[in-house]
Chains A and B, each alone.
Chain A
């Protein structure tokens, strides 16, 4: 029988990178989940211009809120899957007793979730924005605000996903838990775009959005890892 080889150890960064890469690989083998989130955003956001008539002024004034609300909802759609499959097949147990602190593992998984659900929205949103008669400056701010905002949404959502792990009706519970915490992100995210459309500087709203991201980067992985430990006890 082959013998144990005394392998050299991986650095923390290498372990986290591989956790992230593996989450993306698993998602790519199950593409329908990722595609569903993406197309929900595209379709839901595209319905509004069709339903509200062709008044360009009305469209551009409602664009920030419509795009941001649909982005927020589609981010939430995929939250319940963040830890659920690792929980049901026992991988999460192994992550709890892995060589790295759980908080960093959670951070890597949350970042993978953002790459799969947030980043595609950031890329496609400016194209959807064109349907709403947004100026190119507003489109840039829209992409930037979504970039910062969806990162915060994924981080905050990870706490909700960890808290509802293994419960029945987790999807609805996550929404109830997480939506109130999403409101500041929505206010300042949509606020930044609205400011640009009426000719004001989006800087204030974007700074506040950045502050929310910094705050959730510090506290969300901590809260989520504590919740995971409780869920698995």
Chain B
């Protein structure tokens, strides 16, 4: 996995984030290198999702900067987005399209060529063999989540930002996802994720960060 060996760094410097009029937190700084997994914890409403969206560049921090390999992500814009894989609360799945068509489109947005065969393989291993050609409105919540998460096996991004990736998944899917995150981190990827579950993961560098409101 040559592309993950390159040294990369995500740095948050003195971040302050507000939601509406409410200040969520002040002066948060952290730095993540190859192989780091940042596990965000905190109560509902403590600002986990806001922090993830700010890291992705979807919303602006009140103060502070986020930089990727030394450059501000604001300046990098598309060059940073190409390195980023964000899976939020909303799965980003069109009900009218099949699982395969949805994934093809996700890869297109990431600027990647997609091969149906490899998408089929991944969906099959994720247990969606029988429903990958159906319109997605026939899929259950957990199945939709699996389709969204299939991007983790298909896309080449050195930085993952995952918002509650384990919700709606069954036990076997949780195991598969955990395994995938461990593999990715040990190959040198960087992961930022939120979850309410207690996580035991075998990764080079697991950082726990608790947000208190």
A2 touches B153 (CB 8 A): yes
| Stretch in B29-37, B107-115, B166-174, B190-198 touching the partner | B107-115
- Contact A232 to B153, CB < 8 A, known contacts A89-B90, A91-B92, A99-B82: no
A89 touches B114 (CB 8 A): no
A6 touches B97 (CB 8 A): no
Q: Which residues of B contact A14 (CB under 8 A)?
A: 108
Q: Indicate whether A168 reaches chain B with its CB closer than 8 angstroms.
A: no
A90 touches B109 (CB 8 A): no
Instruction: Tell me the A127-153 residues at the B interface (CB within 8 Å).
Output: none
| Stretch in A22-30, A72-80, A109-117 touching the partner | A22-30
- Contact A2 to B122, CB < 8 A, known contacts A10-B112, A90-B91, A95-B109: yes
Residue of B nearest to A14 (CB): B108
Task: Bin the interface of chain A by size.
Answer: 35 or more
B92 touches A89 (CB 8 A): yes
We find that the number of chain B residues with CB closer than 8 angstroms to chain A is 48
A4 touches B155 (CB 8 A): yes
A9 touches B112 (CB 8 A): yes
Q: Which residues of B contact A5 (CB under 8 A)?
A: 115, 118, 156
Interface residues of B, Cβ cutoff 8 Å to A: 1-3, 56-60, 77-78, 81-82, 84, 86, 88-97, 101, 105-115, 118, 121-122, 125, 135, 153-156, 176, 179-180
Supplied contacts A6-B3, A89-B95, A97-B58, 9 more A-B pairs, CB within 8 Å: A1-B176, A2-B121, A5-B156, A22-B101, A22-B105, A93-B90, A93-B92, A99-B110, A232-B58
Interface residues of A, Cβ cutoff 8 Å to B: 1-10, 14-15, 18-19, 22, 25-26, 29-30, 85, 88-91, 93-101, 232-233
19 residue pairs of the A-B complex, CB under 8 angstroms, read A1-B125, A1-B176, A2-B122, A9-B111, A15-B109, A25-B96, A25-B97, A25-B101, A29-B96, A30-B96, A89-B90, A90-B92, A97-B86, A98-B110, A99-B78, A99-B109, A100-B111, A233-B58, A233-B60
